[in-house]
Amino acid sequence: MKCVIPLARNLILSACLLSSTTWAQTEYNLAPVIWYEKNGQPVSQEQLERITAECQLNQAADEIANATSETFEAAYNSFLQAAECFKQYNFISRPLAQQITVE
C-alpha cells in the first residue's frame, strides 16, 4: 500500500528545512521562505543548491513522497538526517512577502 503525501515536493522540503521553533509556530503555514545567514545576508541560490545536494534533500523528499508502508520508516529516517544536515548551517527563514499593489 502506497503512503500518500498530499504535499508538493517543495512544500515537503520547506517543512523539512524549517527550524524547530519556526516549524512549531507555522506548522500549517508552508508559505515559501527566503533563507538568511545569521549575519542577515541572504543565502545565494548557488549555495542552497550546493547544500541541497550535499545533504541529499531532494533524494530524501523523493523517498518520503514515494514511500510504501514497508519503506516509510527508512525514508523518514533519511529525511530526518537530511534535515539535520541542513540545520547545521543555522540559516534563518523568513516568509517570502507577497507584494501588494495599491491602485
Higher-scoring residue by pLDDT: 69, 11: 69
Greater pLDDT, 26 or 58: 58
Rounded Cα distance between 53 and 98, Å, is 28
Rounded Cα distance between 67 and 73, Å, is: 9
- Domain boundaries defined on the chain: 9-95
Confidence band for 49, pLDDT divided at 50, 70 and 90: very high
Name the residue among 2, 35, 7, 15 with its Cα closest to residue 83.
Answer: 15
- State pLDDT tens for residues 5-26: 444 444 455 555 544 444 434 4
Distance from C-alpha of 35 to C-alpha of 23, rounded to nearest angstrom: 14
| Amino acid identity, position 95 | P
- Mean of all residue pLDDT scores within the chain: 76
pTM: 0.61
Q: Quick one: pLDDT at residue 14? A: 53
